[in-house]
Amino acid sequence: MTIENISRNKSFGGWHKQYNHHSTRLNCQMRFAIYLPPQTLTGAKVPVLYWLPGLTCSDENFMQKAAAQRIAAELGIAIVAPDTSPRGDDVADDDSYDLGKGAGFYVNATQAPWKSHYQMYDYVVSELPDLIEKTFPVTQQRAIAGHSMGGHGALTIAMRNPERYCSVSAFSPISNPMNCPWGEKAFSAYLGKDKEAWRQHDASELMRSSTQHVPALVDQGEADDFLATQLKPEALLAASQASNYPLQLRQHEGYDHSYYFIASFIEEHLRFHSEYLKAG
């Protein structure tokens, strides 16, 4: 598979790079970012944290705003951030910010006009890691994390693929998308009206019935404007208690939905993942 390097910036002794490539699963050109810590410059292979961005975001938001590179360099962890959806002139879109481009919701769409490109679940779980592991000095030790829509994606992908991920974390995840406006709108469009199909992409539903556990850390700001209507962490907590799932759910007074919140606690998330990546 051919990839094209489109930018590179040295950071804390390592390199942040952006690449374009053609995705066969999404049937379009895609961009991703990777941070390679300084250990890779001397021949070491390192584990990978996959970061899934939220609504309207791309690979750039986390890499530019979260201040994660310093700790990733110390711990020897690569970070990979994909885009949030397929892109291109022939890719279906919607006028609203919460559907279409920038809002792939990390599912495999089954409904027209979305299904020809919106296969983000397969892209994140299989195609992108295969590309990363064939191209860069990384191991097959993986963790996954994300924010908001990306937190939803990280939690559901980890729980559906416990053999592929050592740990999972999320900031402000959409915890119960079957029962919130963002999720109902996206799932209706991408997956159709059969709500049984939705359950496989709902973190609370998956956690409630989980028998194979991936250690999970979730941080939620109590001043988040979306807390009550869209995020519903109480559903995730109830599900974890029902299945005895190893979830740490922390709520933080005064913090909102922004990258100021993420930057405040990203070090703790990276150290959390490092513990399991090294053990794995």
Element of type H or E holding 169? strand 168-171
Q: Which residue among the candidates 83, 202, 219, 224 is catalytic per the annotation?
A: 224
Quick: pLDDT tens for 9-63. Answer: 999 999 999 999 999 999 999 999 999 999 999 999 999 999 999 999 999 999 9
The DSSP output letter for 231 is I
State the catalytic residue, choosing from 148, 172, 175, 274: 148
Q: Is 273 a catalytic residue?
A: no
Query: Which pLDDT tens digit goes with each residue over 254-278?
Result: 999 999 999 999 999 999 999 999 8
Q: Is 224 among the residues known to form the active site?
A: yes
pLDDT at residue 182, as a whole number:
98
209 catalytic per annotation: no
Which one from 147, 257, 269, 273 is the annotated catalytic residue?
257
At residue 48, the 3 state secondary structure works out as strand
- Residues of the chain under the 70 pLDDT cut: 1
pLDDT of residue 1: 66
Nearest to 186 by CA among 218, 223, 148: 148
Burial level of 191, CB count in 10 A (0-12/13-18/19+)? buried
